[in-house]
Structure 1
């Protein structure tokens, strides 16, 4: 969409405000709204100024002036504002016109450019499956003398005896019993459908939606793949719509990986492939799962760099509450066709040559999508460049149910890091694949590690409620 097309859209839809947005290191969106009557060609040429020192992980107060440069291709109409508003995603630049090397969206674009300049392919396609919970209520507090959380859902199995419903209507979702039941067990068909309707109005191609495995309102909506940066934009749009529709319905949505103890968590399985024009480069008939040698090398790069990669794709302390055996979490660094217990799965059902792809199942939605997709692409490209053969490194293929292996067999399989600190240690030791072509700067990586270490420390020094159960009577 050209600048003129955006300006025409503003007039055609009687837009009153233009909402310019950017994304911080943690993957959170920020915005500045400008009256539509003040937006013209110069706005797109000169950008919108903001204070970078007020954004965590960006600039110091002595060099705080920054500029948002709008990307007209990202424009869509906000479904939640009373006054007609157009949303436009932006890249971040310094006042002298240089790309800001800590801008996640800019890093995503540099990863795409690096792949193209290396002659690997013309486009990398991504499709995330971002799971979420829709709760009726959430309460939490942490302080010097108390620490707790509590969530609730009308469909949760722990509410079979609840009286507050005015006569309990039953049909609760059992523990791990929530995969695709129909109503009345699935109480959230209409709210997910409303989310999908607004996503389609905002330009997403929706493929399906359904209830997920966990009790208490776990769901999933799948939207169609696109190129790396566009998919990251779409995921930001996806989360924005889910959060706000839930709020309109008097509920609350969360993409937190493990909000419930003892039931399945929420992941973000990421499907990936590379094309050269219209030609799929991951397909080769007759190969393992019809994968090309390039695809296998890409998998090799993902699995070889996985410990460091996970610091970016699973960047929260809560991520590692999900990455434990027994809850469909892919903790084992192997690849397999159709096997959901592997970190890398190759879908084989109803797959065409153009649909041939790999699926990295470890990530979750605490990840900044621009950084996570860029890091995955860089790991895969390193595998292609170095011709990393995953089979020779012991990464599979592994077509057994890994969760049913003996301890001796499991000891032969490399696992994901056990904590955020371990993942950050791995990133500190293995980051050269990210800095190739200047995609990630070393300054960015050092700053990112420091920011995430502070999160890990903030959690580790606080008293956990379960410690009272274990130790109060000592």
Structure 2
């Protein structure tokens, strides 16, 4: 037993923790949980916890159902919304096959494998997400849009506002669980909020995002509202993004930094961004995995719909933020296409793989987009070599299906399940008769 596991067992005894929840996600990024008694934890560390993988989306077929949860002691935290005595704690788990080998269906394993590839090249992959979400009133009339908790806008200060108190409570809980928050504010849509997490390695960030979603939803329910990470819940209002800042470090040095280079962006950084652009269409189904995701991308505003990069250009898919003198560590790339409903483990895996491919193949970064890309005509964008992102989940899946990069990154099991699940989602969506169609055609035809 290692020191972290010993620390967990000692803390459980000292803090009168009676329930330990083991967390993991399915292929689509849905949080799963099983509670065990503290007396069972030592055995779980040594041998894992058996469960029926065939009951979880994308994990196993019926004839190969037996799987194991192996708790990761480094992720142990007491749940602040279960702070009464006796307390409840949680740990994330890695999924193992009965013989102890990593499960090919575990999203956490997929990201760990991608990060190991980066490590073999001397890099550590860091991410910093800006997570947007909406707060709605609890009662939604059938067939009616949800009602936001306020009518405030970007950066508005709302005295005694629900969102104001909500963000304070949620951030307090995040920090109690060791998750550092950098900024928080009201976003552009009514009832829309943003909370930005601090930089961490990508695996820690993905764990933090799953914890973040749980905390946001728990905190909202306690306040009589509900929180949604749906990419585009309201017509005519901004969608919810998860803009993510990315960088590679070689030891303590930022591999994206080069003194004197344009925007202080190194050759490695330029090649990494070029990889994101070259493979943007192939990875889009993973970073934007829902039918509704494409309503956000193609609704205008600051949502990027075209494959390009720019310096402080918020209409571009990839932005290179302004470098602060003396802050070499801050040189980074910001991917603005990813939305808040993505599975962070898989999304960060394909972003990393695309960037590393750009480095390995020596991709050339095209000229930056200096104009508002949304303000250009289709002809102007074509003349500049700016391609569109996929216009629908169906189009994104078509590109993903032909992608060797995505198949290799996700592994055969996750790749096949993800495609089949999302193709079924598109087929179901395509059959729907929407209110738009009824309003447009019912009395005209």
Give the conservation status (yes or no) of the 8 Å contact 1:325–1:403: no
Q: 1:262 aligns with which of 223, 226, 236?
A: 236
* Partner residue in 1 for 2:73: 72
Cα distance, 1:80 vs structure 2: 2.4
Task: String of CA shifts for 1:99-126, please: whole Å, max 9, x gaps.
Answer: 1111000001000111112x241x1001
Tell me whether 1:125 sits opposite 2:126 in the alignment.
Answer: yes
SS class of match (1:32) = strand
1:222–1:50 CA distance, 2 compared to 1 (3 A): same
Q: What is the distance in 1 between the residues matched to 2:150 and 2:339? A: 24
TM-score (norm 1): 0.89
Task: String of CA shifts for 1:30-68, please: whole Å, max 9, x gaps.
Answer: 11101113322x220101111111111221222111100
Which residues in structure 2 correspond to 1:230-379 (within 5 Å)? 230-348=204-322, 350=324, 352-379=327-354
* Partner residue in 2 for 1:410: 381
Q: 2:98 aligns with which of 95, 99, 112?
A: 95
1:405–1:435 CA distance, 2 compared to 1 (3 A): closer
Consecutive unaligned residues of structure 1, counting only runs of 5 or more, are 142-147, 157-172
Task: String of CA shifts for 1:96-155, please: whole Å, max 9, x gaps.
Answer: 1111111000001000111112x241x1001111100011125376xxxxxx34211342
Tell me whether 1:419 sits opposite 2:420 in the alignment.
Answer: no
- The count of aligned residue pairs is 437
Cα distance, 1:411 vs structure 2: 2.9
SS class of match (1:152) = coil
Cα distance, 1:398 vs structure 2: 1.2
Give the conservation status (yes or no) of the 8 Å contact 2:263–2:323: no
Q: What is the distance in 2 between the residues matched to 1:140 and 1:243? A: 20
* Partner residue in 1 for 2:39: 37
Which residues in structure 2 correspond to 1:144-159 (within 5 Å)? 148-156=143-151
Task: String of CA shifts for 1:261-314, please: whole Å, max 9, x gaps.
Answer: 011110111110000110110011222211000011001111110011111000
Q: What is the distance in 1 between the residues matched to 2:251 and 2:437? A: 57
Q: Indicate the larger mover: 74-83 or 311-320.
A: 74-83
Decide which structure has greater helix share: 2
Task: String of CA shifts for 1:319-349, please: whole Å, max 9, x gaps.
Answer: 0000115221111111111110100001105
Give the conservation status (yes or no) of the 8 Å contact 1:186–1:211: no
Task: String of CA shifts for 1:390-409, please: whole Å, max 9, x gaps.
Answer: 21xxxx31122222223421
SS class of match (2:240) = coil
Q: What is the distance in 2 between the residues matched to 1:103 and 1:197? A: 30
Q: Indicate the larger mover: 320-329 or 204-213.
A: 320-329
* Partner residue in 1 for 2:186: 211
TM-score (norm 2): 0.95
Cα distance, 1:186 vs structure 2: 5.3
Q: What is the distance in 1 between the residues matched to 2:160 and 2:280? A: 38
Give the conservation status (yes or no) of the 8 Å contact 2:282–2:406: no
SS class of match (2:306) = coil
Cα distance, 1:442 vs structure 2: 2.4
1:80–1:340 CA distance, 2 compared to 1 (3 A): same
Tell me whether 1:434 sits opposite 2:406 in the alignment.
Answer: yes
Consecutive unaligned residues of structure 2, counting only runs of 5 or more, are none
SS class of match (2:310) = strand
Cα distance, 1:458 vs structure 2: 1.3
1:259–1:65 CA distance, 2 compared to 1 (3 A): same
Q: What is the distance in 1 between the residues matched to 2:309 and 2:344? A: 22
Q: 2:113 aligns with which of 110, 115, 121?
A: 110
Q: What is the distance in 1 between the residues matched to 2:133 and 2:167? A: 11
Q: What is the distance in 2 between the residues matched to 1:402 and 1:421? A: 24
Q: What is the distance in 2 between the residues matched to 1:202 and 1:443? A: 33
